Structure 1
Amino acid sequence: MNFDELDQKMRVYETAADTCVLPDMYMVARLDGRGFTRLTKEVCTFERPFDVKFRDMMVRTTKALLTSGFRIIYAFTESDEISLLFDREEQLFGRKLRKLNSLLAGEASAQFSLQLVQVATFDCRISQLPNRDRVIDYFRWRSADAARNALNAHCYWCLRKEGRDARQATQQLSGLTFGQKNELLFQRGINFNDLPAWQKQGIAIYWKEFDKPAVNPLTGESVVALRRRMTINDQLPRKAEYTEFLTQLLDAS
């Protein structure tokens, strides 16, 4: 059996499970840190409940993903997760899910590990969304998750700093409503509404076009060239205003 025959015979086993994102579907990748609870609590000494250094490493990792060869028009990061919205017409690697998942997870893991000087890994999964409404719902969902996580984290660490152990703090918070958790913080001098927006709403990174004065090399006349730059937004709006923000971004893409 020559190489070509052997290659054709074995390639079937490697590609048997290949699936591709269907045409005209929106793709959103979500990356999550693997074992980051232990990493941030035991292996590394990060400030709790939120650490600026950790936040900045997540932002830099997200920025690297935007320049990794994929056409990504919007990225959102909160806690130890990153969500990426691809250009609807993205065709890289034939839209194969195994390639998208493995490459994005590998890229994020490498970028974050280099910054941390410690092994850190991400997993990745792709959501295939049929229309813009579902895209907006997806990012509203992750924004709401950021707010919920922020409230829970601040409540939990308030109780831990008062002397409760992990089990006691978790039990005390179990079953409390959103309003009751807000009141728990307020009684301890913390107004949840006054906490930094990036903790409650996450951070968005996206491309923004701008006009740049230039000179036509052939005629020497002054012209205006359209360029784009990466924008980091840590003051995201909430609820209906966030929906409008996302709608405008999709209109411009």
Structure 2
Amino acid sequence: MKFDELDSRMRVFETAHDHCVLPGLYIVARLDGRGFTRLTKEVHQFEAPFDTRFRDLMLETVEHLMNCGIDIIYGYTQSDEISLLFAHNETTFSRKLRKLNSVLAGEASAKFSVLLGALACFDCRISQLPNKEEVVNYFRWRNEDAHRNALNAHCYWCLRRDGKNATTATSMMKGLSVADKNELLFQHGINFNQLPNWHKRGVGIYWEEYEKQGFNPIKGEIVPASRRRIRRDLDLPMKDEYSKFIAELVSAES
């Protein structure tokens, strides 16, 4: 069998189940660290429940993903997860799901591993969202999840520092209301509302325009030039204000 014939024959098996995100749909990718609880608590022993070193590794990874050839207008990270909002008309890899998932997971795993100096792995899945409202709902969901996780994490580690083992600490938290959890923290000298906002809300990463002085060689004069750079926002709003923030970001891109 000649190569061209063999090539055509075998590629059918490789591409038979290719699926592409339809034009007009918004794309959001969510990446999660695989086995990061063991990686960060046992192998490398980052500070619990939040560690600025780990946060910065995640932020560096998000920025890498926003500069790896896919037009991403917003990145969001909390704990060991990353969410990425693509530009509405992004067509990289012809919007093929297998390519987007594999490339983003590979890029994130490689970048984080290099930064950490040890192997780390991310998985990736794509959400195909029909309109701006669902984009807002998606990021509101992850923002609310960050708040819930932060409250639970601080309570859990207060109990662990009291000498409770993992099973006991988890059991003691079952059935506690939000008010009960806040009271538990208060009894340990922690006012949840006064904790750093990035603990409770995650971190947003997006592009911003800025003006830079440039030189026009033709006219021989200094002229203003528009550039863009990535901004890290460690003070994201919550609830309806966060929804408004995301809605404005999506509208500005459309």
TM range (shorter): over 0.9
Q: TM-score, normalising length from structure 2?
A: 0.97
Cα distance in 2 for residues equivalent to 1:187 and 1:91: 53
SS, match of residue 212 in structure 1: strand
Matched, 1:30 2:30: yes
Please report how far the alpha carbon of residue 72 of structure 1 lies from its aligned counterpart in structure 2 after TM superposition: 0.3
1:48 is aligned to 48
Aligned partner letter, 1:217: P
Cα distance in 2 for residues equivalent to 1:229 and 1:38: 34
Cα distance in 1 for residues equivalent to 2:198 and 2:165: 27
The count of residues paired between Structure 1 and Structure 2 equals: 253
Aligned partner letter, 2:16: A
1:246 is aligned to 246
Q: Residues 180-195 of structure 1: matches in 2 within 5 Å?
A: 180-195=180-195
**4+ residue runs over 6 A deviation:** none
Q: Residues 44-193 of structure 1: matches in 2 within 5 Å?
A: 44-193=44-193
SS, match of residue 111 in structure 2: helix
Please report how far the alpha carbon of residue 251 of structure 1 lies from its aligned counterpart in structure 2 after TM superposition: 2.5
Cα distance in 1 for residues equivalent to 2:214 and 2:43: 50
Aligned partner letter, 1:246: I
Please report how far the alpha carbon of residue 222 of structure 1 lies from its aligned counterpart in structure 2 after TM superposition: 4.5
2:8 is aligned to 8
Aligned partner letter, 2:35: G
Aligned partner letter, 1:118: A
Cα distance in 1 for residues equivalent to 2:157 and 2:201: 19
Cα distance in 2 for residues equivalent to 1:134 and 1:176: 31
Aligned partner letter, 2:27: M
1:213 is aligned to 213
Cα distance in 2 for residues equivalent to 1:152 and 1:143: 15
SS, match of residue 67 in structure 1: coil
Percent pairwise identity: 61
Please report how far the alpha carbon of residue 216 of structure 1 lies from its aligned counterpart in structure 2 after TM superposition: 3.0
Aligned partner letter, 2:144: A
**Cα RMSD, aligned residues only:** 1.0
Cα distance in 2 for residues equivalent to 1:215 and 1:56: 35
Cα distance in 2 for residues equivalent to 1:6 and 1:151: 58
Cα distance in 1 for residues equivalent to 2:101 and 2:243: 27
Matched, 1:229 2:229: yes
Cα distance in 1 for residues equivalent to 2:132 and 2:45: 40
Q: TM-score, normalising length from structure 1?
A: 0.97
* Structure 1 residue runs without a partner (length 5+): none
Aligned partner letter, 1:24: G
SS, match of residue 12 in structure 2: helix
Cα distance in 1 for residues equivalent to 2:81 and 2:118: 18
SS, match of residue 148 in structure 2: helix
Please report how far the alpha carbon of residue 221 of structure 1 lies from its aligned counterpart in structure 2 after TM superposition: 4.6
SS, match of residue 82 in structure 1: strand
Cα distance in 2 for residues equivalent to 1:144 and 1:177: 16
* Structure 2 residue runs without a partner (length 5+): none
SS, match of residue 171 in structure 1: helix
